[in-house]
Structure 1
């Protein structure tokens, strides 16, 4: 589906999506009966919420809503594929709203404690020298998206989003944002609940959020959107830093974990941590910023810092 014909849209409060001025076709995929929000809640005594402390030892910002995204990109531009920056921001803002709404609505269904939304830094241009936001003192790279545990923030490069949308379709921004939000969720959990394959678990949590939002009625899928999301996981591979197989698992693993979140919701993503039959990809979380990391700059592909590591580099 061309990126200039978005149809993967929220059904309530279409503030961001409406800026593109494009219609929504309301067709829901046939998985609503098993998505997150309909699965029995996990035992609060087992699944605990340990909100990541800041460097001063205080708790994270006491807010229950995601911040308004900032941007280091121009006010408007038309990309080579015909997509405008205004349309792109509409998709991104809608994806942020949908994902944040799911977690704020359902956090208490699965975890103890209050939901604390991450800061949304949002869109940046990693190819524009000196303009990218930093994490741990290192600028965020191009063609990637990040969760930065140092300041509990999320950011995504415009080049990644434009290219991914051109190759995959308008659902791509939703996948990126839901995946990165999954890392923010991991950072709030007890380490025992975070999978060794934490990139794969983030895929699972992302699917749980998107299909959970569909079950809630805040997001509607057109026919083919589910296939489009799966294609995003299997087709990009090493073409983009955000999807390298070495850090994110192969396409079979990614699709499997995504489907786990789609059908089993958040509890299934948590229960899979440590499961020898599924949690088989070991990815070592970063401890320090390493300019020599693959791709240069921060260790973009490593992720899922635990609460005791508030200054770790960004994750993708």
Structure 2
């Protein structure tokens, strides 16, 4: 994925691709990367790692730009973006309310109002799936930050699926707004990423996040119906 420019309607192609893919991404299947201070910080992974971290920064910029434009559809409050703590490795990430950062994970911390992720999580998905992986992860966690900014009545009891829905609305909306361009293969990557996050993966335990069909349905609902379909 890159920008600007756009290709309209991600979901019809994505839905077809979902019928063809299935995978499990495992942290241990790829080498770890060095710690980052946020996306764009070079690490020990060399040029490939720097490219991934640039894609992380691009994803941050795209997702934030989308919410700058569209947060008013959900709230009359001014939009105040969360802080992006960015990458860490293992247990060396920022704590959340006194709880250590989880290895192999990505999370939004309400107490500190920040997003963070294990770079090994990003590296595993990036190498096996592609750059669409970082967009899915970051858009999902940003969805949790948006939930924290909404009225309680707007936040679903199925908070993880709602964040998936918001991720779908964000990425399709960013395409429609010309903030990001879909490149050849991106829809397949997105489909694979959605299946992967619902498989046996530390970041997305199906018992709390939903199974593959629930998660892809939620993402597709947001992509086809926009933010209003998510609240």
TM-score bracket for the superposition, by shorter chain length: 0.7 to 0.9
| Residue ranges of structure 1 left out of the alignment (5+ in a row) | 1-7, 12-25, 33-68, 271-316
> Aligned to 1:139, which of 97, 100, 106?
100
Q: SS at 1:239's partner residue?
A: coil
Could you tell me how far apart the structure 1 residues matched to 2:163 and 2:221 are? 11
TM-score (norm 2): 0.82
**1:106 pairs with 2:99:** no
Is the contact made by 1:107 and 1:115 (CA closer than 8 Å) also made in structure 2?
yes
Cα 1:267–1:253 change in 2 (3 A) is: same
Could you tell me how far apart the structure 2 residues matched to 1:31 and 1:175 are? 13
Could you tell me how far apart the structure 2 residues matched to 1:212 and 1:138 are? 34
Could you tell me how far apart the structure 1 residues matched to 2:6 and 2:114 are? 33
Max radius of gyration: which structure? 1
> Aligned to 1:78, which of 31, 34, 45?
45
> Aligned to 1:119, which of 83, 98, 101?
83
Q: SS at 1:122's partner residue?
A: strand
Could you tell me how far apart the structure 2 residues matched to 1:152 and 1:267 are? 24
Cα 1:174–1:148 change in 2 (3 A) is: same
Is the contact made by 1:72 and 1:125 (CA closer than 8 Å) also made in structure 2?
no
Tell me which residue corresponds to 2:206: 245
**1:28 pairs with 2:7:** yes
> Aligned to 1:186, which of 147, 158, 163?
147
Per-residue deviation, 1:191:
1.3
Cα 1:135–1:72 change in 2 (3 A) is: farther
Is the contact made by 2:6 and 2:176 (CA closer than 8 Å) also made in structure 1?
no
Could you tell me how far apart the structure 1 residues matched to 2:39 and 2:140 are? 22
Could you tell me how far apart the structure 2 residues matched to 1:172 and 1:126 are? 19
Q: For residues 52-79 of structure 1, what are the alpha-carbon distances to aligned partners after superposition, in whole Å with 9 as ceiling and x for unaligned?
A: xxxxxxxxxxxxxxxxx93499843227
In the TM superposition, what are the counterparts of 1:162-241 in structure 2 within 5 Å?
162-241=123-202
Q: SS at 1:229's partner residue?
A: helix
Cα 1:212–1:139 change in 2 (3 A) is: same
Is the contact made by 1:27 and 1:220 (CA closer than 8 Å) also made in structure 2?
yes
Structure with more of its chain in helix, by fraction: 2
In the TM superposition, what are the counterparts of 1:37-48 in structure 2 within 5 Å?
none
Tell me which residue corresponds to 2:51: 87
Could you tell me how far apart the structure 2 residues matched to 1:97 and 1:177 are? 10
Q: SS at 1:147's partner residue?
A: strand
Is the contact made by 1:183 and 1:202 (CA closer than 8 Å) also made in structure 2?
yes
